[in-house]
Amino acid sequence: MLKSHLPLVYLCLYLGFISAERDYDFMTICPRVGCMKGRYMNGFQTSEFEAYMGIPYAQPPLGHLRFKNPVWKPRWRHVLDATKPKPDCLQKNYLLPNPIVYGEEDCLYLNIYRPVLRAGLLPVMVYIHGGGFFSGSASPSIIGPEYIMDTGQVILVTMAYRLGPLGFLSTGDWNMPGNFGLKDQHMVLKWIRNNIESFDGDRTKVTIFGHSAGAVATHMHLLNPNSANLFQRVISMSGTANVPFAITKEPLKQARKMGELCGVPNAKYINTADLASSLREVDASQIVNAGDSFKCWDVDPLTIFRPVVEPPGPDSIIPDTIDKLMKSIYYQRRPWLLGFVPDEGAVRAVNLIENVTLLNQFNSDFACLFEELMEWPERYTEDEKKQKTGVLVTEYFKNDWGIKQSNKQGIMDSISDRGFKHPLYKTVKYYHTIKGGNWFYQYLFKFSYKGPFSYASLYTEANVTGKYGVVHGDELLYLFRSPLLFPDFDKKSTEAKVIDIFVTYIVNFARFGYLVDVPRTNYYCTKELLDQRDDGICDYHEFMNSYIKGFDMKVNYRFPTAKVRLWQELLDEKM
């Protein structure tokens, strides 16, 4: 990200996307919910496509609807102006240096983009943005539809959903059940089922896809028995439902602390109905800002307000622990594409390495802070946590209790392996072995192409251009145009070629439920094949740099299973 863009980020996200394109004629469409007026937008390599933005899918979650499951938006009688997106959901983005509160509590809106030329019903792709469940945007200035619309093959839907405490605070009972952000997403999927045919979308060919926390959410919907038949394919990039930051263990304790921070009288002891009612009276920005007081050090843990396990019911999203759901008969069998990048841990590691003040603070209490960063399960005693942390220091830091130039990759790799790669490996193994999945397909890809821009520059104020490899979020540079964050690629560049191939790869999976026109992999992945591969998992595609062609896609099967086995031993897990 260019540093000159940083002061504009919050302002532009708040004000929404204002196009610099020339004026176009408007067009009107009338699904079940009511008529709306959209507009045309320009593609990246192709001509225009249609955009319908800022469509309300639920009642504004204000007042008595705060901390409650979303409520359907009634049919409107006027012609809705759907030519501009709405502001992002209220949030404090701890991924950015010097985070501030911005956005609106009234934010349950979605955007729909479709090709101008359509022959029959088109497959539908529904994107769930990332951001640790506390931040993120569906704005076309961040999640630009141009690359996907260039294909002319699908309809794209992006959505906003409640974030942070407004999306995930819970009392652990029906008075404030939690998972509101996930339930917002679930309502969008129902909205699509009811309305997408009016946009020439095929309700029987819906693909949900997401990145980071959005990928975690896609996996959670896959595990949710109440989401059956709402989608047919899944794409999860850099996140699965079993990541360490996925679940809040003590939601009521967290809710009572929030009450105290917000001045709710006797918040420690009042009944949960009164606690929830009182919190609905507090200024929304005060609630979001109160999240600072839940941090142990600096911005850690990054994700404070997380999904929770709910009692089973028609409105629940997570009716049991993730581990049990992953072994359940209700684990939906859907074609599934999972992706990862080499340095996922950059989302936290880059600023630790680059910010001298933070680095010195972290090293001054390295044993404690690194242990907290690894988020050991609560079942371990303090002595067990210390012993296991010591093993990690030996493996990742060359037995040096501190981050130095000689071992700085250790903090990157330890966060990558703990937070992303071990959960991914476990997910793949479960899907093929626990479920006996010899008759449905699961695919894996690794995005290793390094271009001129990187999300690493977003995670710190330091100038890190070209300093890091392919980090958490970098694949998004070639899936969505982000004019607010990064300059456009030249239309004849190698990066434009990467966009074309990568987007086609993703879109074709959404169209067909399998990969086409790519190097062949042994996708018929069985337990027997997995057991034969000591140093890898089933074949996967890798997008990478090429000295000859600039870019290439090859088949690989090597995965960091040595570190995976280490984590399985440390977490006392058997596959």
- For residues 437 and 332, what is the distance between their CA atoms, to the nearest angstrom? 11
Eight-state DSSP code of residue 276: H
User: Could you say which of 186, 219, 432, 472 is catalytic?
Assistant: 472
- For residues 156 and 158, what is the distance between their CA atoms, to the nearest angstrom? 7
- For residues 322 and 240, what is the distance between their CA atoms, to the nearest angstrom? 10
Eight-state DSSP code of residue 497: H
> Around 137, how many Cα atoms within 13 Å sit in the side-chain half-sphere?
28
Does 472 qualify as catalytic in the annotation? Answer: yes
Long-range contacts of residues 378-387, Cβ cutoff 8 Å, at least 24 apart: 378/249
* Beta pairing, strands 550-558 & 336-340: unpaired
Residue 558, beta-bridge partner list: 536
User: Could you say which of 135, 139, 212, 227 is catalytic?
Assistant: 212
Radius of gyration of the chain (CA): 23
CA-wise closest residue to 95 among 258, 243, 343, 301: 301
- For residues 414 and 407, what is the distance between their CA atoms, to the nearest angstrom? 11
Which residue in this structure is represented by tokens 């703990």? 418
CA-wise closest residue to 568 among 421, 384, 403: 421
**Cα angle, residue 141 at apex, residues 139 and 147 outer, rounded to 5°:** 100
Does 221 qualify as catalytic in the annotation? Answer: no
Tokens for 543? 């997008």
Q: 233 φ, ψ to 5°?
A: -140, 155
**Cα angle, residue 74 at apex, residues 273 and 124 outer, rounded to 5°:** 105
Tokens for 304? 């404070």
Does 135 qualify as catalytic in the annotation? Answer: no
Which residue in this structure is represented by tokens 């030519």? 83
Side chain identity at 126, as an amino acid letter? Answer: V
CB 340 within 8 A of CB 349: no
User: Could you say which of 104, 310, 344, 475 is catalytic?
Assistant: 344
CB 244 within 8 A of CB 230: no
- For residues 14 and 20, what is the distance between their CA atoms, to the nearest angstrom? 17
Burial class (CB in 10 A: 0-12, 13-18, 19+), 405: exposed
Which residue in this structure is represented by tokens 């009234």? 106
Quote the distance between the C-alpha of residue 565 and its chain's center.
26
Cite the active site residues. Answer: 212, 344, 472
